[in-house]
Structure formats: structure tokens, C-alpha cells
Structure 1
Amino acid sequence: MLVAVLVGCEIGFWLLLAGGLLARYVLRRQRLSAALLLSVPLVDVVLLAATVMDLRGGADATFVHGLSAGYLGFSVAFGHSMVRWADRRVAHRLGAGPPVPKPAPRGTRERLRYEWREFGKAAVAWAVACGLLALMMVLVGGAGAGSSDTAELGAWIVRLTVVLVVWFVGWPGWESVRMAVRRT
């Protein structure tokens, strides 16, 4: 059941986002648009409630429970910027908004700041997801973090940490090295 809720929440996110932007730029209904866009975080609340209810109902912690924590962390950290990203593009296409600026070229200070800012969001996503995973581990109980009941949740902490390290090395770390080499 949790897989269906997770998929439904992802679909719900995009439907609320598209509906909010459609209401803003096509229907010219600003209040409806605001209501739909402000409802986007409710998708996270639904997913969190479903995950906790599933675990409290006695379900074994599975890959999907960990995935839901990762999704929630990503949504909390990147949700606002994803809405802003979509809004700029739709405003340009449908609302005669200004053109979307191109990303700063690699090897520039602007690009370095951008990469560090995005990594900061990734770190927030990691912290939220790992906090939720730790909370789920407590909810599931068992003999502790090494328990078979919580092993899959612990594995998700490792997965998310690997993703964060790769993100650091591949983007802000690489851009920082590139900038340091350019200065010499």
C-alpha cells in the first residue's frame, strides 16, 4: 500500500504544481493559484502520515519506507526551488515573463556559489531524511540500530550518505578545485 501512496504523492505534487501554474497564467485566478501552490507541502504530510501509520501498524521496515524518507527530505529541501523553477519557465512561456537566465559558465564564481548553494540543499535533504529514518528506527523498535527490523532503514542512511559525498565531490568540490587552479 505504501508504494501506491508514494506514487500518488509524486503525482499529486506535479498535479498541484501544474494546477497552480495553470490557474495563475491561463485562468488568471491568483487566489486559486496561491491555494494550489500552498497545498503542495500537504503531499509531504500525507506521505509522512502514511509511512508512520504503516510502521506503527506493525509493518516491517522496507526499502519503500526508506525511499519515503528520502523523498520527504528531498521535497523539504528542494520543493520551494522546484516550484520557483517551474514558475519562471511557465511565466516566460505563457505569461510573457522575462526569459529564464542561463546557468553561469563553469569555472566562474557565480557557478561556484550556485554549486555550493545546491549542495547545501542536498545536505538539508540528507539531514531531514536521516532524521526521519532515525525516527522510523525508533518507531519500529527492535533491538537497536543493528536489528533486522531496522536494517533496511540503516541501509538507506548509508545510501543517502554516499549520494551526498558523490554530490560534494562531483559538483562543489570539483568547482572549488577548478577555481583554485584558475587562480594559480
Structure 2
Amino acid sequence: MNLIAWIIIICEISFWLVILLGLFTRYIWKKPMLGLFILALTPIIDLMLLVFTGYDLAQGATATMAHGLAAVYIGVSIVFGKSMIQWADERFRYYVTKEGPKPVKLVGREYAFHYLKGWGKHVFSYVIGAGILAFVIFFINDATKTEAMSGMIRLWTLIVGVDLIIAISYFIWPRGVKA
């Protein structure tokens, strides 16, 4: 595994550790403002990944799938970051502190619409990540060095299409509804 792949793994672990630390500070130590400050640090992780990846490519590295995955990670993190933190917050309050309401499990049409909304966010994250990839491809201007990034765009396009099919399937075969 190359350095960028390890940096992505470190960033993902750091993202969840920062969230846990922020929630722990907010609810266990009863320091809500400090907890909010810690949670607000999560975009810095994305910025660090962007800097490391950009630096590696600027030094002449041939783009790998890991470089492409970094763009995917950034797009997904920008679009889904707030909702992932909210998801973790709800579960932390309920399961750890026993203070919040039980997280609602959506079923039927509610889940189908929720998933479709998530697919819309997926498309938005795709636009951001694929935009980053396209910019890098344009900037480097060497198809042999950016072949993996072009491949990542094709793969992600396929994944977004499959995700749409899954979203539509929940309207046809609703989740959690007993026949």
C-alpha cells in the first residue's frame, strides 16, 4: 500500500476519533462548547488529506487509485460530514449517556424517500470529488500519469448509477414493511 492510502486510512480513523472525542467532551465531561469546537475540527482532516495528496502529485507522483480515493473521500466528507456527525451524536446520546431519544428506524416510504435524499447527496459528493479529479487530470495534462483518476471517475459513475437503482428499489420493495 502506498503512502496516500495510509494517509486516507489515518484521516478516516482521525475523523471518527475527533467525533468521539467531541461527543465525549460534550456529554460526559459536560463541556458543550469545547465539544462543539472539537467537532468543528473535522474539516481540517479533509484539508490535510488534500494538502498531502496535492503535494504528492506536485512532486511528480503518478496518480494511483489511492489518489483518486482521496478525492472521493473529500467529496463524501464535505457533503455527508454534518449528517455523519449528527448520526453519531444521536446514537451517542441514546446508547452511551442514556439521555436522548431512541434513534428512529425508518421503514417503508419514509425510508425510500430518506434513501433517495441520500442518493441526491451522493450525486453532490460525486460532483465535488469528480470535479477535483477532473481538475487534477486537466492540471497534470498527462494521461499516463492520471489514468487511475480517470478510472476512478468511471468507477464512481457506475456506483452512483447502482445507488440510484437501489434507491428506486426501495419504492418498489419497501424496507421493513411486513407483507
| TM-score above 0.5, yes or no | yes
Distance, in Å, in 2 between the alignment partners of 1:50 and 1:16 is 19
SS in 2 for 1:65: helix
The aligned counterpart of 2:48 is 46
Contact 1:119 1:168 in 2 (8 A): yes
**TM-score (norm. length: structure 1):** 0.88
Q: How does 1:34-183 map to 2 (within 5 A)?
A: 34-93=36-95, 94-103=97-106, 105-106=107-108, 108=109, 110-142=110-142, 147-171=143-167, 173-177=168-172
Q: CA RMSD in A?
A: 1.4
C-alpha distance in structure 2 between counterparts of 1:71 and 1:60, whole Å: 19
Residues 114-159 of structure 1: per-residue CA shift (max 9 Å, x gap): 12111111101111110010111123222xxxx2111110000001
Segments of structure 1 that go 5 or more residues without pairing to the other structure are 180-184
Percent identity over the alignment is 30
What SS does the corresponding residue of 2:145 show, helix, strand or coil?
A: coil
Shift of 1:6: 1.3
Mapped to 1, the partners of 2:112 and 2:14 lie a distance apart of 34
TM-score of the aligned structures, taking structure 2 as reference length = 0.90
Moved runs in structure 1, 4+ residues, more than 6 A?
none
Number of residue pairs matched?
171
Give unpaired runs (5+ residues) of structure 2: 175-179
Listed one character per residue, the Cα deviations across residues 151-179 of structure 1 (whole Å, up to 9, x for unaligned) are 110000001001000000012x2234458
